[in-house]
Structure 1
Amino acid sequence: MAYIRKISFVNDKIFNKLDVTLINKVPNNNENYLSMIIGENGTGKSQFLRAMVDSVIDSCLFENSKLETIVNDGEKFSNIPKIICSATNINDKYRLDLGKKIFPKDNYRYLGMRSATNNAFVGKYKKIYFNAFVKIISEFNRLDAFVDALKVLDFPVEFSFEFSIGRTASKVITPDKLQKKYSLFLQGYNKSTLKLKEMGRMDERRITEFLTNESTLESTYNTTKSLFNSKGKFILHVDLLNEESCNNFMQKASLVNDLLLNKIITVREFYVDMVGNIGFSMLSSGQYQLLNTLITLSSEITNDSLIFIDEPEVSLHPKWQMIFISIIERLLKRYKNVHVIIATHSHLLVSSLPVDNSCVIISKKNNCGEIVFETLEANTSGWSSDFILYNVFGLATARNNALEDDLRLIATVISEWGIKKQDLGMYKVALGRLKKFNLPENDPLVGFIKNADVFLSENS
């Protein structure tokens, strides 16, 4: 099983000495679990995700963690888990890859926006999504869960990929040359290849080396000619609800893969079939982010996965924030022993957590400015947005029912001129929540809180 029940920092630069509980109830065998870390900016949520990823990798590779971090009280994972790191902002803290670490390459997947440490290249998604669709459509569990999630969002289930001949390959393989018989194509190819060899750049060398064998060249000619029209364009469409369409997609994808791998062709655009084809880059930021998360996660989830998701609420409408957890649950429905750990600012995500198999961890700074994590004992399912804003962030809206309840409790106790033993705990908790507010001195609540504090000290 791939759960992180607890993580302990011994001598960490950011978290110092700290124990954090991520599961407050051990899941039953084969069940999935959701842990949500919520807190203000600057309270270490993204760094905490990175630290957990590093610690899991370290604990799998070494008997004694070099990071001085202990996972699950030092208990080894029964199998090396698959680690999936998802993010929709360019400031995530994840590793792009594991460098020289001997952790199995297929067991780590970075699904964020960055292509280099400080860069994000949106264009990279086209090929990534094509490969993801191949994996999703090839496995029933992935396809079923992906379609289910799309339906919840009322997203389309038809997509298209447009391919073109690659920039370097187009110097030797052009649409007009493909219209000719192979013998004539070969004459033109041989002349053009000499120029490519003279250039000597990496892509040129790669293509000419791949096509050196004449049988490979003829096969490439036949495949490219069968796919592309006279204008050098090929569009591969798929309807995820149509079995014949999915089978056709997979057949054509098998032809496309070698051409993509060897830079003969490139994915020019990825279309979402809404009202007509819409280029993926033309979607709204919210549609883009959510569809990106669905596609990449759907293609990578396996049993016994550890999934880390950083700030999934970015650019999402409140309605989509409220159903995001439900979407994740649908993606997980055919998988076992998966632990999802989400870092967020969104109180709307918290309110939609399932009743069972979930917990909330609040990240905050104490009076000394140190980052601390507090695991909530109460179940947050069904909590109102106002209630979470008040209890977690210490924010009150104009008509916050939770705030009114605390004020009413304290006022009632004071008016009765004494604190009953059974009310003492509730009074302290309610007053503690009120004291979190940074109120201006002229706010009437300041005097009320001071008097309530004095009353407590005199009667406890």
Structure 2
Amino acid sequence: MFRIEYLKLTDHPQLGEIELFLSDIEELNNNLKPYTSVIIGPNGTGKSFILRTISDILMQFNIFKTSEIRKINLPYSFQLRYFLEGNNYEIISSFIITNGRTKIRSYEYYMNRPFTIENSFFVNKKFDQYKIPFQKLEFPKYVIVNSILQTDRFLFKNSKPEDFYQYLGARSTSSTSSTKSSSRKTIKYLFNASSSNIDFKNNLKELLEFLGFEKSLKINYSTKINKLFFSGELIETNFKRYFEEWWHDDFSYSKRNQNNPLWSIPHYNNNFRNNDKKISDTVEYLNHVAKNKLIHKARSTSKILSIDLFDNNLSEEEFEIIRQLEYLDIINIDGIIINKNNSVLSLSDISSGEFHLIISMIGIFSKIENNCLILIDEPEISLHPNWQMQYISFLKKVFSKYQSCHFILTSHSHFIVSDLEGQSSSITALNRDNETGDIQAKLLLADTFCWSAEEVLYSVFNVRSTRNTFLEYDLNKMISLINNNSNDYNEIKKILQKFSSIVISEGDPLNIIIEKAQKYIKNA
């Protein structure tokens, strides 16, 4: 089981000094469901930077352990404490002054060190017995980062399947994204997961059902150069000539000059040239497809090759051949096809909320294993409020087999927060001090499952609505205590503390009641 427990930062370029508790330590033994931590706060409180910082720390130290790179490039001091498979691990950084002038950042590593807030950052010698060498530090299986934002804060990386850091964001390069690139990445995830993860297809069916779609998903490809590749009579010699002798006058399937090669030739040279077995298998598959699987495409000379992802006869070998045909530019992606209310829809036809949820979830489904950390930035964007209210329950349901994983989300949505179960979730609220500009974090130990929207707004987001019954309840209770000369001063102080965190205009009559209550406490 993996859980991030605690993070403290000092001199962080964007976050300054901040201390965060991201899971309730008392709940570490509760591993019946994946653990979800939600970080909430107004714009400008650094929610996305927190996720980026966590991923950067774990990624850099994992690289340090698994490669020959021996440099940590983190421009801040930190303490990170996490729980993994029965042990607590800590990485603590600080400055050491050398030669009276030069500052060098040093790192210390601990296992199962007793933890209190008082000894959290500066560790004295009495804890030396808990120090461990760096090589004994253990890490989660993967750090998976996900965002639908084109301007997400995560480090962009074209992650390979075996990489520790898995970028599943919207960008296809370090600065750009597109619907086409999202579809291409989604298909890659679909193929990889379908051939390697036995639970993936069932999870995908649950996702489609959650969104109101039928349990059907197909990937359509348009064919190219039909007279050659999809005649049903393709021979290996012509397959080779298309990529190796395309300029010859007696080869009628290509009109290109010798100095104008196909863009797919490098892939052919690296993967097919001199590999007669691979060429033979590909030609055999193309002839089989041409005779048995192609569908006519309306108003086009191309045809459609439709791959049913839930076809139990679909093999890993067929997935691989299809991938290779795309790289060779013999087929092109035409669309990902789903069904709703007996209508056939492409992903490009559905709402942005449906589209974003499908592609983000498919990405996570395709990568997740036990003991993973999953960081999701603002998943509520474009989602209908009904889906926002069910989002965390859905996460816990479809990832129920991955109880050992920790999901950390940032959100502005009070609907998402209303779906948190106290025993397997936590809320960390961020606020920026108006006077100092410092960001403050508070772990809220509240079970918000099935709370109403206005209760969440008032109790979690500190937002007062004009008809908020929960504010009215606290107000009436405080007035009653004062009018009855109650000596329950702690309860009055507790209510005043709630009121101090909400925005009240200067002329609001509520100020008179607050002032009266403050005098009552002062004169007690």
TM-based fold match above 0.5: yes
* Equivalent position of 2:15 in the other structure: 15
- Which structure 2 residues correspond to residues 178-257 of structure 1 after superposition, within 5 A? 178=229, 179=231, 182=235, 185=238, 189=242, 192-193=246-247, 195=256, 197-199=258-260, 203-207=264-268, 210=271, 212-213=273-274, 215=276, 217=279, 219-228=281-290, 229=294, 231-238=301-308, 240=310, 245-248=311-314, 250=316, 252-257=318-323
Q: What aligned pairs does 1:373-392 form with structure 2 within 5 A after superposition?
A: 373-392=441-460
CA distances 1:252-280 after superposition (whole Å, capped 9, x unpaired): 32431222344443322111122332111
Given residue 70 of structure 1, which amino acid in structure 2 is its aligned partner? Q
**Cα gap change, 1:158 to 1:341, in 2 (>3 Å):** same
| Counterparts of residues 118-157 of structure 1 (less than 5 Å) | 118-138=175-195, 139-157=197-215
TM-score, length-scaled by structure 2: 0.76
Distance (whole Å) between structure 2 residues aligned to residue 399 and residue 97 of structure 1:
47
Query: Helix, strand or coil: the match of 2:395?
Result: helix
Q: What is the CA-CA distance between 1:105 and the residue it aligns to?
A: 5.0
Q: Equivalent pairs: percent with the same residue? A: 24
Asked whether 1:363 is paired with 2:430, we answer: yes
Tell me the TM-score normalized by structure 1: 0.86
CA contact (8 A) 2:389 2:418 kept: yes
Kindly provide the amino acid, as one letter, of the partner of residue 383 in structure 1: W
The answer as to 2:226 corresponding to 1:175 is yes
Which residue does 1:110 correspond to in 2?
A: 167
Tell me, in whole angstroms, the C-alpha distance in 2 between the residues paired with 1:65 and 1:443. Answer: 53
Deviation larger for 40-49 or 428-437: 428-437
Amino acid at match of 2:401: R
Instruction: Tell me which residue corresponds to 1:276.
Output: 343
Q: 1:294-349: CA deviations, max 9, x gaps?
A: 21111111001000011111111111011111111122112241000010011111
**Counterpart residue number, 2:494:** 429
Q: Distance in 1 between matches of 2:3 and 2:236?
A: 61
1:89 aligns with 2:89: no
Distance 1:186 1:140 in 2: 35
Is contact 2:265–2:328 with CA below 8 Å preserved after alignment?
no
Structure 1 counterpart of 2:235, which letter? Y
Q: CA deviation at 1:87?
A: 0.9
Give the equivalent residue in structure 2 for 1:449: 514
Task: Write out per-residue CA displacement over residues 373-398 of structure 1, whole angstroms, 9 at most, x where no aligned residue.
Answer: 11012333333221111122222223
- Partner residue of 2:483? 415
Which sits farther off after the overlay, 88-97 or 307-316? 88-97
The one-letter amino acid paired with 2:373 is: L
1:291 paired with 2:358, answer yes
C-alpha separation in 2, matches of 1:176 and 1:291: 36
CA distance in 2, matches of 1:380, 1:156: 31
SS of the residue 1:54 aligns to: helix
Q: Conserved in 2, the CA contact under 8 Å of 1:353 and 1:381?
A: yes
Once the 2 structures are TM-superposed, how far is the Cα of residue 191 of structure 1 from its aligned partner?
A: 5.6
Give the C-alpha shift of residue 201 in structure 1: 7.1
Judged with a 3 Å threshold, the aligned counterparts in structure 2 of structure 1 residues 376 and 187 are, in CA distance, closer, same or farther, namely closer
Superposition RMSD in Å: 2.9
1:406 aligns with 2:406: no
Deviations 1:217-260 (A, max 9, x none): 555444334324484433334264xxxx2323656324312223
Q: Deviations over 1:146-188 (max 9, x none)?
A: 32343333322111111134xxxx5xxx102232553894697
State whether residues 39 and 47 of structure 2, in contact with CA within 8 Å, keep that contact through their aligned partners in structure 1.
yes
Q: Taking structure 1 as reference, are residues 386 and 15 closer, same or farther at Cα in structure 2, changes over 3 Å only?
A: same
2:63, 2:228 → 1: CA distance? 54
Report the alpha carbon displacement of residue 144 of structure 1 after superposing the two structures with TM: 2.5
Residues of 2 paired with 1:156 and 1:259: CA distance?
A: 29
Structure 2 Cα separation of the partners of residues 86 and 329 of structure 1: 17
Give 1 or 2: higher helix fraction: 1
Q: Distance in 2 between matches of 1:308 and 1:345?
A: 15
Go from structure 1 to structure 2 and tell me whether the alpha carbon gap of 1:352 and 1:457 turns closer, same or farther (over 3 Å shift): same
User: Displacement of 1:121 after TM fit?
Assistant: 1.7
Match of 1:314, SS?
Answer: coil
State the distance in 2 between where 1:358 and 1:309 align.
15
Q: What is the letter of the counterpart of residue 353 of structure 1?
A: L
The answer as to whether partners of 2:158 and 2:167 remain within 8 angstroms in 1 is no
Alignment check: 8 A CA contact 2:6 2:20 kept: yes
SS at match of 2:326: helix
- CA deviations on 1:117-166 (whole Å, 9 max, x unpaired) are 3211221123322232234433322223332343333322111111134x
Question: Partners of 1:65 and 1:182 in 2: how far apart?
Answer: 55
Residues 425-452 of structure 1: CA deviation (Å, up to 9, x unaligned): 2212211222333333332223222332
Partner-residue secondary structure (3-state), 1:106: coil
Q: Which runs of 5+ in 2 are unaligned?
A: 66-70, 82-89, 92-109, 112-136, 249-255
**Which residue, out of 369, 390, 394, partners 1:302?**
369
Aligned partners of 1:181 and 1:331: how far apart in 2?
44
CA distance in structure 1 between the aligned counterparts of 2:72 and 2:201, rounded to whole angstroms:
38
More deviation, 311-320/78-87? 78-87
Structure 1 pair 380–276 and aligned structure 2 pair: CA distance change class (3 A):
closer
Distance between the aligned counterparts of 1:193 and 1:323, measured in 2? Answer: 59
